[in-house]
């Protein structure tokens, strides 16, 4: 399976990092080894002093395809969850300055946290609230209505380049409020009022 991620999909988040609002989706990938084993703590890697959380809605591909049209895109995923796109912001900034790819800053081991998945019919994906608490304080509070590119648009876009397969994950971008984690922090993610995971930082 592969993990496809979109960057800068919420205007307020693009602004907080000093980026322009993109005209077409900004796409990067994480390898399958990035997935943090369920129930494991997250260990801050030795190559970074500035690991940021980015809470995101994640789609799970249930039907493969290529050149998927937006009106059919909803047939290609049937479950959604939440994830954290952990980012080594210091390393990413250096790579961005040089115009180099972001993979080292985005795809390292443990950088993709994913919750359990839930039937998409049980939620309104066009108006879905999701939030992240750090040490019991709300740090990110998103709603999918604020996305620049909808899930269906994203699927249309990426499937022009990459064949989608069953089990692939799509991280749909983070709202504003990203920030640094420190040892002993506890992160808790909520999909509407449902707590879908909690995670300790080591």
- Which residues are near Mg ion by CB under 5 A? 54, 85, 174
Backbone angles phi, psi at 116, to 5 degrees: -65, 165
Residue 150 and residue 101: Cα distance in Å, rounded?
24
CB of 200 to Mg ion, least distance (A): 21
CB of 22 to Mg ion, least distance (A): 13
CB of 136 to Mg ion, least distance (A): 23
CB of 28 to Mg ion, least distance (A): 9
Backbone angles phi, psi at 94, to 5 degrees: -60, -45
In the complex with Mg ion, the residue whose CB is nearer, 109 or 121, is: 109
In sequence order, which ranges of the chain are alpha helices (DSSP H)?
11-16, 70-73, 89-97, 103-106, 151-158
61 and 120 Cβ atoms separated by less than 8 Å: no
Q: Left if phi > 0, otherwise alpha if psi is -120 to 50, otherwise beta: which for 100?
A: beta
In which element (H, E) is residue 93 found?
Answer: helix 89-97
In the complex with Mg ion, the residue whose CB is nearer, 54 or 152, is: 54
In the complex with Mg ion, the residue whose CB is nearer, 85 or 168, is: 85
Report the residue number whose CB is nearest to Mg ion. 85
In the complex with Mg ion, the residue whose CB is nearer, 54 or 168, is: 54
């Amino acid at each position: 399976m592969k993990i496809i991620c979109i960057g800068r999909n919420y205007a307020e988040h693009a602004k907080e990092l000093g980026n322009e609002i993109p005209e077409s989706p900004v796409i990067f990938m994480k390898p399958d080894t990035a997935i943090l084993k369920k129930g494991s703590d997250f260990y801050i890697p030795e190559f970074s002093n500035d690991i940021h959380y980015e809470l995101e809605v994640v789609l799970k591909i249930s039907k493969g395809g290529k050149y998927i049209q937006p009106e059919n895109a909803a047939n290609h995923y049937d479950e959604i969850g939440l994830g954290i796109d952990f980012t080594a912001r210091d390393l990413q900034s250096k790579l961005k300055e040089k115009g180099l790819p972001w993979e080292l800053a985005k795809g390292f081991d443990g950088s993709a946290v994913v919750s359990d998945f839930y039937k998409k019919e049980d939620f309104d994906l066009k108006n879905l609230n999701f939030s992240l608490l750090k040490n019991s304080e709300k740090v990110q509070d998103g709603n999918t209505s604020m996305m620049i590119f909808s899930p269906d648009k994203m699927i249309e876009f990426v499937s022009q380049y990459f064949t989608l397969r069953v089990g692939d994950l799509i991280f749909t971008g983070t709202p504003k409020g990203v920030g640094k984690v420190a040892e002993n922090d506890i992160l808790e993610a909520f999909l509407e009022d449902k707590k879908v995971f909690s995670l300790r930082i080591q």
